[in-house]
Amino acid sequence: MSIFLPDALLNFETVKYFNAELHEEERYNASFEDYARAQIKTQRIFAISSLGQNFLITSAIVSAMILAAREVLHGTMEVADFVTIYSYILSVYSPLESLGMLYRILKQQILDVEGMFQLLKEPLEIVDKPGASELILRPDEEAEIEFRNVQFSYENEKAADIGSKKVKGPLIKNLSFKIAAGQKVAIVGASGECSLIQKL
């Protein structure tokens, strides 16, 4: 959940470009609900494990103390031996108090690793066509990038705000140009500013 909100806020321009505010809101709400359910389940398991663990530890300590006290009453053990046994049992069981917290941390690490491997299994959105040849450029070879008949318009042909004007229909139509090796090309609007892409 902590990933979606910073990602949407830091890339709010991209969200606005694609008119995806509602999509991001629904995605965040779904993530928040999943996180809340998982957190409640984790706390429930932690509470049950802590209760069971404390019950077992307390039962073992009480049983051992009863047996040690019995031996002291019969004269086979001294009071110092009783205190030694009590201290020894506490030193053995004290690390177990953090067992529930350790389980939660370990479970979180496992989930993070599973998420990482799941991310590696995500299919690529942009792939080459079947049979596409490898792009191999030699240092002495002249290369260029060509854009041919590029078009851009919003879905449903809604009106777009370009500066102070309302433009409906294709915003970019039949745009073609070439960029040779070493060249720098900028798309500049009619007013001379270079924020055209942001406005789109």
Segments in 75-194 forming alpha helices (H): 79-93, 99-120
One-letter-per-residue 3-state SS of 48-87: HHHHHHHHHHHHHHHHHHHHHHHHHHHCCCCHHHHHHHHH
- Chain segment 28-64, per-residue pLDDT in tens: 888 888 888 888 887 888 788 778 878 888 888 888 8
167 pLDDT band, cuts 50/70/90, is low
- What does the pLDDT average to over 4-24? 75
The span from the CA of 41 to the CA of 48, in Å, is 11
- For the chain, the domains span 4-120, 144-199
Residue 164 pLDDT grade (very low, low, confident, very high; cuts 50, 70, 90): very low
In which element (H, E) is residue 144 found?
A: strand 144-152
Specify the range with the lowest mean pLDDT, choosing from 26-30, 130-134, 136-140, 189-193: 189-193
Give the span between the Cα atoms of 134 and 117, in whole angstroms.
28
